[in-house]
Structure 1
């Protein structure tokens, strides 16, 4: 899960939250170009799952 968010295993809670917010914004399906929405949606779900854990 840490690799999905792009943080180290010893990252603080603030670092994890910051990485999550950046990734969620980057991969949000509404922001992605139309031809990449399906891929972005899958990636967005992965990011959300990683953050919830």
Structure 2
């Protein structure tokens, strides 16, 4: 899966946009805040792709 799409971004997004989108999605799907089925799995996906985006940003 494309981490830009996971974070709701286009491929041309800046590093700052990636950081903001990661934080927004992480808060949205965090298991302590979202008890819906699948939220924890989605949170893990977002976290994984957020980390990948951070590595690419450097």
Q: Which of 8, 11, 16 is matched with 2:10 structurally?
A: 8
Matches within 5 A, 1:22-41: 22-33=24-35, 36=36, 38-41=37-40
Name the CA distance, whole Å, in 2 between partners of 1:52 and 1:30: 20
Could you list the runs of 5+ residues in structure 2 that have no partner in the other structure? 53-58
CA root-mean-square deviation: 0.9
Aligned residue in 1 for 2:46: 47
Q: Which of 19, 22, 25 is matched with 1:20 structurally?
A: 22
- 1 or 2, which has the higher helix percentage? 1
Could you list the runs of 5+ residues in structure 1 that have no partner in the other structure? none
TM-score normalised per structure 1: 0.87
* Runs of 4 or more above 6 Å deviation: none
